Amino acid sequence: VSFPWQKREISNFDYLMYLNTLAGRSYNDYMQYPVFPWVLADYHSKTLNLTNPHTFRDLSKPMGAQTIERKRKFIQRYNEVEKNLSAQCHYCTHYSSAIIVASYLVRLEPFTQTFCSLQGGSFDVADRMFHSVKSTWESASRDNMSDVRELIPEFYYLPEFLTNANHFELGCMQDGTVLGDVQLPPWADGDPHKFILLHREALESDYVSAHLHHWIDLIFGHKQHGSAAVEAVNTYHPYFYGDKMDLNNIKDPLIKSTILGFISNFGQIPKQV
């Protein structure tokens, strides 16, 4: 049986929204917000070439395994189970959480207020704020061992979240850069509308259409947990697997509230579909 998505009768965007909904994720819950993939790896070229496979991220691997070096470090962490880790996993942080969602959308209300309340009442240190698509990709795919974040749907349709139209004072980075609009890749020519247009084109491209099922397996499918997840370097702290933990059987209220706090702060694996 071939499905409408396989026949390209519905867009990749619509199919991903459908899967997110099936998995219990929605715009109504920052802790279970729809999760979308990074699809590009090119944030430096003057023009975007959607016919070149090297333009794209490897959709068969989670963000923690995008480079050989990083993948090796996470496998090492899994094998060592450092003494301060209570469980064997590759990642102690998640690809989607309330703070990740709010940090992406911090230039728009009501997310500005949400972000500040999650941060204890103010904006974060400027260097840690979302300010550049390229540097966020580099952090999540290569540089930062505690950053494996994916994207949110807005990256594919909402140019407004990339501009600081409300003129919030987001601070000044250590190199003197004052935070304002999000810095875009050269191929977007400084235009948020062009960025969204090309980014959406990339999502619907032949390359992504041919490889997206691999990413879906990692996030929503059989590589989400168990031996297939271990093999795919795709295991997270047990607390992230909310639906796999029977909280009703945990009698100690302190442990129970710790787990719930952990899930609400750090993210939750979608229901398997």
Give the sign of the dihedral formed by CA 37, CA 220, CA 53, CA 201.
negative
Are the C-beta atoms of residues 96 and 236 closer than 8 Å to each other?
no
The Cα angle at residue 105 between residues 101 and 161, in degrees rounded to 5: 140
For the full predicted model, state whether its pTM sits above 0.75. yes
Give the domain ranges of the chain. 3-264
Q: Provide the pLDDT for residue 83.
A: 56
pLDDT at 197: 98
Residue type, 37: P
Q: To which CATH superfamily is domain 3-264 assigned?
A: BEACH domain (1.10.1540.10)
Which residues of the chain, if any, have pLDDT below 50?
Answer: 1
- The whole-number pLDDT of residue 90 equals 94
Angstrom distance (rounded) from CA 61 to CA 264: 25
What is the per-residue pLDDT for 255? 76
The residue type of 229 is A
Best CA proximity match to 238, nearest among 219, 218, 262: 262
Only one residue has tokens 């064997």, namely: 88
- Residue located via tokens 């996030």: 219
